[in-house]
Structure 1
Amino acid sequence: MLRDAADVVEVQVREVQAGVRQRQYVAEAARREERVTEGALAGLCDDRPAPLAPGRADRRVAEQPRPGYHLTAWAGVVPADLAETYAASRRAMDDMPMGDTDYGTVIWDVERLVAAAETIEKRGDSLHTVAAVDSSDGTIVGFSELVLPAGGEGDGQHYGTAVLPEHRGHGLASKMKAEAVLHAHSLYPGIALLTDTAEDNASMRRVNDRLGYRPTHRAVEYQLDL
């Protein structure tokens, strides 16, 4: 997800691949395991085929109607007319399963959103955001972020996907993420897309399964209080 280094204070968080020797070293130093994440892959890249051809599962999910809602999307910095409602929707991430890892309190405002998008652009990548809109009042109630590498060279990476608690249960996360995947494949048909999901985030893991992602690795985060 979009995250600022300044949001983490008085702790160190380290992520290591599950099962490697470094994990033992970090665990001994940090003393506690905080969060296990599962990495998953979709698309075609080198010798890593996904269970479903790119776009097949995604298109099926994207075409399912979600009464009372519609989607909008943009590249890079959020449009000015959507900036305030998009910033307000960021609280959808507040209850995301994080194990016991403490990243501190992240307060998203328009300035922070713009700065994060500009940082991605400056490094040569592109940020594509799909948002779910409540059709009754035009407010953004969910979003899904996807970062694509310059020229499609390398893997794309999902950042945050979340829906406000009061709007969950309508299949919006699946629909937004599916639309983001279809966008990526329309630009770079052969690109692989990576997503990292907390092991205890059952709802998002079901979304990933529905879209044809398959697990590729596990990573463990350890946190050391300073």
Structure 2
Amino acid sequence: MHISVHPDYRRRGIGSELMETIIPVLRERGRKVMEGYYITEGSTGEHFTRAQGFKVVHTRVAQMLTFAEVDPGLWEVATPEGYRLVRWIGHALDDLVESYSRARDAIADAPTGDSTYVTPDWSVASIRRLEAENREQGVEWRTVVAVDERGEVTGLTEVERLPLSPDRLFQGDTAVLAAHRGHGLGLAMKADMLRWLTADNDGLDHVWTSTGTTNVHMVAVNAKLGFKTVRRSNVVSRKL
């Protein structure tokens, strides 16, 4: 659900009325909690959700890398010993897709505070469905994975490029299996992605990412690569 009121008509109770209209419908469907995402701190949306009884359950930072302002030398990061990096666009390699689907589940370890959001369980079938949807919508979905000496995917990072804004990129999941953390794989994969993107494309403007404030390791990794924090936002929740 998305609630938006034109600025000229705010503070007339329209948003509150919309909220009170939808809540009974959600209750009838058995919903017990309502959550809102990416509520910018200090914004009209924050004031509205507070007035509606929502509480902050998680805080995230939006970080942006502007290509013209960053020294590409920051992305010259060595691949940790015992691993190799593999790239693809839009279609996971057949010999890696099964272990890739298992590695994607590692994103469930990312901190989400007291939010009730549950990450999906990934499978080869669900990945193939998502790939097909992206192709239909013209989304370029780039993936870099780390593969260990056994040939298993141990980590991944993804970037989406939408057809209507090809100069703006959106960072998807970055995750490393618990047994392989602490080796610098996240930094190496994201650095490789940036080298790949800039080698293939001219005129890229920036790439966005969003990370939980308590995920201090990933926030620091992004900063090392040239990302700057540009906004803080909250996940808010209320019982129905």
TM-score range relative to shorter protein: 0.7 to 0.9
- Picking from 19, 25, 46, the partner of 2:48 is 25
List aligned pairs for 1:33-48, cutoff 5 A. 33-44=56-67
TM-score, length basis structure 2: 0.80
Greater relative contact order structure (CA < 8 Å, 6+ sep): 1
What is the CA–CA distance in structure 2 between the aligned matches of 1:152 and 1:183, rounded to whole Å?
19
- Check if 1:12 corresponds to 2:34: yes
What is the CA–CA distance in structure 2 between the aligned matches of 1:82 and 1:122, rounded to whole Å?
23
Shift of 1:104: 2.5
What is the CA–CA distance in structure 1 between the aligned matches of 2:194 and 2:219, rounded to whole Å?
16
Shift of 1:17: 1.4
What is the CA–CA distance in structure 2 between the aligned matches of 1:189 and 1:225, rounded to whole Å?
48
Shift of 1:101: 1.1
Shift of 1:164: 0.5
SS in 2 for 1:158: strand
Give the count of matched residue pairs: 208
Decide whether the 8 Å contact of 2:107 with 2:119 is kept in 1. no
1:169-189 Cα shifts (integer Å, max 9, x gaps): 110000001111112212323
Aligned to 2:201: 188
Shift of 1:23: 0.6
SS in 2 for 1:19: coil
Structure 1 counterpart of 2:62, one-letter code: G
Question: Which of the pair has more CA radius of gyration?
Answer: 2
- Picking from 164, 167, 177, the partner of 2:177 is 164
TM-score, length basis structure 1: 0.85
Shift of 1:72: 0.6
Structure 1 counterpart of 2:192, one-letter code: E
List aligned pairs for 1:4-153, cutoff 5 A. 10-15=32-37, 16-44=39-67, 50=69, 52-53=70-71, 55-58=72-75, 60-61=76-77, 64-104=78-118, 106-135=120-149, 137-150=150-163, 153=166
Shift of 1:102: 1.4
Percent identical:
26
What is the CA–CA distance in structure 1 between the aligned matches of 2:225 and 2:80, rounded to whole Å?
17
Aligned to 1:201: 215
What is the CA–CA distance in structure 2 between the aligned matches of 1:111 and 1:10, rounded to whole Å?
30
